[in-house]
Amino acid sequence: MSTTELENRDFYELEHFKLQKQIITKLPKKFCYENMVVILKDCDSSSNLFLVGMLHIEDTTILNKIKNLLHKKIKPIQLNEYEITKALDFAFSDQYRTEEYVLNINQTREIHFSKNQEAKDILDDLLSQAIKMNSTDIHIENYNDDIDLRFRIDGVLHQIVTPLNPKNIKQVIGRIKVMSELDLAERHMPQDGKLKIAYKNGETIRHLDIRISVLPSNYGENIVLRILDSEILISPYINLGLSDTNINRINQHCQLKNGIILFTGPTGSGKTTTLYSVINKINTSENKIISIEDPIEFDIPKISQYQVDFRLGFEVLAKAFLRHDPDVIIIGEIRDEESAKFALRASSTGHLVLSTMHTNDAISVIGRFRDLGVPDSFVAENLRLSVSQRLVRKSCKKCNGTGFLENHSTKAKCPNCFGIGYKGRTGLFETFSPDNKIKSMIADHKSLQEIRSQYKNEETLEFAARQKINASVTTKEEVMKVINLNSTKEEPYQLNSDALHRH
Ligand SMILES: [Zn+2]
């Protein structure tokens, strides 16, 4: 049946149309099922017209939404619910059983953005490219006559060549909004949404959660998509970049029956990842581990996690949790007097306590406990180990950090790091475990400076950094972003020069 014949009929049945998956899926699955609509025919090349099967043919709101999403003329065609569902099930059969949006990737195919792509293809390619490059965030920003696309990779934003332009941006943002169940018509208020994606690459499937945030600006709606692996991949802590000395030190302290072990560093330093990998190591059937957090940020496999408000007071918390007879207690973060007191109480009643703290270096936890009003004698008695860390990007091994591969006279972008020169991240670590002499200094209220000068630690953050620079694991520029390499004696990252010469 020809297009003109189809357009001119008064009465239709599904069997009049030759259904095509790639045409039906131009509209998001959820939108189609919720509104009972299905694209029946793309009469594009000549008439710029789509025939769309609808249950509620008179509903202009739905009709306008379809027009907005497709940017085509629409000819609505009355179909019944059974026919529409049948057509949609046919087209979305590989996505039907799950709430997830399925992204099929061919890892070897180079993605080439082109000008005339449809919103669906643009978004699929954009998401695929971002996931392929291990991006954590996608930033889309509108400017006067330009659209900016940036991916955050290993903590750093990179400008990406984009198929987005002021003409197609509204369709793409419309599609993102519909897929994440946001209000398509709302263009003046900030909105937050979620989207689940199954990223299929051959036989392997990764499940990803995408958090979407839309913020209207003077030139249009800006969007940030945060990509999260829904299953946390806990890597053993020997893979995090720790030295043998520090691995041994952590191993020894994990065996303790009581005391406090702290993971410290600024936001984004990777301390939570290190905490998780240590928990994973001690999570055996011999240990009962509970985790107390405010709020619970990630699910830790096979650990009972409790969301608590530390303002309840440590007496109440101690009563509730210590009688559950745990061996190990994890406290999400020690950040106020109540959580600090609870940690010390738990430790002094025979529990091993693991937690994180926001400090610049390993020894500074003493000062932080003092700020939180914890008596020095408690700290001296209970603090076993403090691990401080920073994250730096690793130089790409394939191209030696240049971003390019040279083959005779030709230069090509390195396929491993996509021309960035860095791939993945590693930690710089220092540890602090007070011996008896240091413990008595803490109990005697000695200043941090005095304690620091007495604590013999060759492996400072700066030492770890210099070793990794020398071994070409990372670069000086990368390290300089997170620690001061040219520190003077007054500063905490003082390097013992004898130690450097010995290594
Ligand atoms: Zn490379």
- Domain co-membership, 323 together with 449: yes
Residue bearing the bigger pLDDT, 70 or 500: 70
User: How would DSSP label each residue in 378-404?
Assistant: HHHHHEEEEEEEEEEEEEPTTTTTSSE
Q: Determine the distance separating the centroid of ligand 1 and the alpha carbon of 121, expressed in angstroms.
A: 28
| CATH number for 73 | 3.30.300.160
* Spatial contact of 24 and 53, defined as CB atoms under 8 Å apart: no
**Count of domains for the chain:** 3
**pLDDT value at residue 445:** 96
Q: Determine the distance separating the centroid of ligand 1 and the alpha carbon of 400, expressed in angstroms.
A: 7
**pLDDT value at residue 495:** 39
Helix or strand or coil: residue 193? strand
| CATH number for 445 | 3.40.50.300
pLDDT digits (tens, 9 = 90+) for 144-196: 889 999 999 999 999 998 888 888 898 899 989 988 888 888 888 999 988 88
Q: Determine the distance separating the centroid of ligand 1 and the alpha carbon of 423, expressed in angstroms.
A: 7
Tokens 């408000």 correspond to 309
Q: Determine the distance separating the centroid of ligand 1 and the alpha carbon of 435, expressed in angstroms.
A: 44
> At which of 68, 91, 114 does a domain end?
91
Q: Determine the distance separating the centroid of ligand 1 and the alpha carbon of 397, expressed in angstroms.
A: 6
The answer to whether residue 409 is domain-embedded is: no
Q: What is the pTM of this model?
A: 0.73
Q: Determine the distance separating the centroid of ligand 1 and the alpha carbon of 389, expressed in angstroms.
A: 25
**pLDDT value at residue 497:** 39
pLDDT digits (tens, 9 = 90+) for 373-388: 999 999 999 999 999 9
* Spatial contact of 91 and 19, defined as CB atoms under 8 Å apart: yes
Q: Determine the distance separating the centroid of ligand 1 and the alpha carbon of 226, expressed in angstroms.
A: 24
Q: Among 212, 213, 205, which Cα is nearest to 229's? A: 205
pLDDT digits (tens, 9 = 90+) for 250-284: 999 999 999 999 999 998 899 988 998 899 889 88
Residue bearing the bigger pLDDT, 488 or 106: 106
Q: Determine the distance separating the centroid of ligand 1 and the alpha carbon of 27, expressed in angstroms.
A: 38
pLDDT digits (tens, 9 = 90+) for 439-462: 999 999 999 999 999 998 889 999
Q: Which of 43-47, 174-178, 198-202 has the lowest mean pLDDT?
A: 43-47
Q: Determine the distance separating the centroid of ligand 1 and the alpha carbon of 430, expressed in angstroms.
A: 29
Q: Determine the distance separating the centroid of ligand 1 and the alpha carbon of 474, expressed in angstroms.
A: 13
Cα 281 from Cα 235, distance rounded (Å)? 10
- Domain co-membership, 439 together with 301: yes
- Domain co-membership, 480 together with 333: yes
pLDDT bin (cut points 50, 70, 90) of residue 5 is low
Q: Determine the distance separating the centroid of ligand 1 and the alpha carbon of 112, expressed in angstroms.
A: 20
- Domain co-membership, 322 together with 464: yes
Q: Determine the distance separating the centroid of ligand 1 and the alpha carbon of 106, expressed in angstroms.
A: 21
Tokens 């009709």 correspond to 63
| CATH number for 183 | 3.30.450.90
The answer to whether residue 256 is domain-embedded is: yes
Residue numbers of the domain that contains 450: 237-395+424-502
- Domain co-membership, 264 together with 360: yes
Q: Determine the distance separating the centroid of ligand 1 and the alpha carbon of 405, expressed in angstroms.
A: 8
Is the pLDDT at 116 greater than 80, yes or no? no
Q: Determine the distance separating the centroid of ligand 1 and the alpha carbon of 431, expressed in angstroms.
A: 32
- Domain co-membership, 241 together with 209: no
Q: Determine the distance separating the centroid of ligand 1 and the alpha carbon of 234, expressed in angstroms.
A: 25
The answer to whether residue 414 is domain-embedded is: no
Q: What is the average pLDDT across 66-89? A: 87
- Domain co-membership, 75 together with 143: no
- Domain co-membership, 347 together with 473: yes
- Domain co-membership, 260 together with 379: yes
* Spatial contact of 256 and 352, defined as CB atoms under 8 Å apart: yes
Q: Determine the distance separating the centroid of ligand 1 and the alpha carbon of 395, expressed in angstroms.
A: 8
- Domain co-membership, 225 together with 241: no
Q: What is the average pLDDT across 188-212? A: 85
Q: Among 474, 425, 423, which Cα is nearest to 132's? A: 423
Cα 331 from Cα 372, distance rounded (Å)? 16
